[in-house]
Amino acid sequence: MTATAQQILRAAADGTEEWKNQRTEGFGGSNAADLHTGSASRFALWREKVGLAEPEVISPELQAMFDFGHSREPALARIFTERTGLKVRNTGTWARKDQPWQLANPDRLIGRDGILEIKTTGAYTDAAKDWKAGIVPAKAWVQNHWYAHVTGRTQLWFIAEVDRQPIILGPFDRDEQLIEDLVLEATEFWEQVTAGAQPEPTTPGDMPLAYPTSVDGSTVELEPWDDTVQDLQRLTQLQAQIKELSAEEKDLRASIQSEMGDAEQLISDGRVLATWKTTNGRKSLSKDALQEDGIDTEKYMRQGKSYRRFTVKGA
């Protein structure tokens, strides 16, 4: 194995502010997976790297999932060694010597030439179906190949805990064609980052970020044969279909609820088909009650963030 990378952060730095800051200054395995699989747009990733993206708000539930996955890594690494006889070691963040912006943060290194990627997932996810079928999910596959590129290692292993059951897949020889594709994609993207050249927005999530405000009175004139006119006609048709389906969904829901009455569960042949349970209402502050107590509620009002409303008038 050729030593193509150098360690820039030790394993103990994982999760620290230093580690988080380093991730924004380079291109790592999760970035490669997002870009290659399309799970994140080039435009959104570019905004993150140039410092335009707002800090991600992670819900307590999602943070708990991240924490659980991280906490399971030592146990799963130990299980991997017990079942394969291969020794692993914890590692930190690595950077290519020839391209320092290319980063890798493998879960574990195996011997002199292997990499172990560790995953956890629930029983009913798409990833779980792949792991159970002996298939490495696309994002994990790409992520580990990026690590192989940065570190120069050639043997890829995976262990995934699916609904508390460890699944080991490997070894796999690295796919040189895939790595070539990943490097090309990453290099083109990073050139846009360093040049400050904004990629074209392409996804629904990109549009409000790329065009946050409208210019009063401005218009775009289209010819009748323009493709956008065709898109508007198709959108109008889909909106009508969605309206019809929504009405049908409400009717079906009402019919099923009528059958259930005050029961919590609907069962057939021993299987639970539906539940209809009582939940507590959401607690909220009463503006009227506060005013009755002499509190000036207007003092505490805040203007919400402006946004653009898209409405189809006709096509």
pLDDT value of residue 2: 58
User: Which residues touch 154 (CB under 8 Å, ≥6 apart)?
Assistant: 1, 113, 148, 173, 174
pTM more than 0.75: yes
CA distance 95 to 61: 32
- Do the strands 265-268 and 165-173 form a parallel or antiparallel pair, or are they unpaired? unpaired
Dmax over Cα atoms in the chain, in whole Å? 75
pLDDT value of residue 294: 87
Instruction: Tell me the residue type at 32.
Output: A
Does the residue 292 lie in any domain?
no
Residues of the chain scoring pLDDT < 50: none
Domain count, the chain: 2
Does the residue 278 lie in any domain?
no
68-110 pLDDT, tens digit per residue, is 888 899 999 999 999 999 999 999 999 999 999 999 999 999 9
CATH number at residue 124: 3.90.320.10
The answer on 11 and 130 residing in a single domain is yes
- Do the strands 103-104 and 114-121 form a parallel or antiparallel pair, or are they unpaired? unpaired
The answer on 164 and 91 residing in a single domain is yes
Domain that holds residue 61: 5-195
**Angle of helix 29-37 relative to helix 176-195, nearest 10 degrees?**
100
The answer on 191 and 106 residing in a single domain is yes
CA distance 25 to 100: 10
The answer on 166 and 252 residing in a single domain is no
The answer on 60 and 22 residing in a single domain is yes
User: Which residues touch 191 (CB under 8 Å, ≥6 apart)?
Assistant: 197
Tokens of 214: 């409208």
CA distance 101 to 95: 7
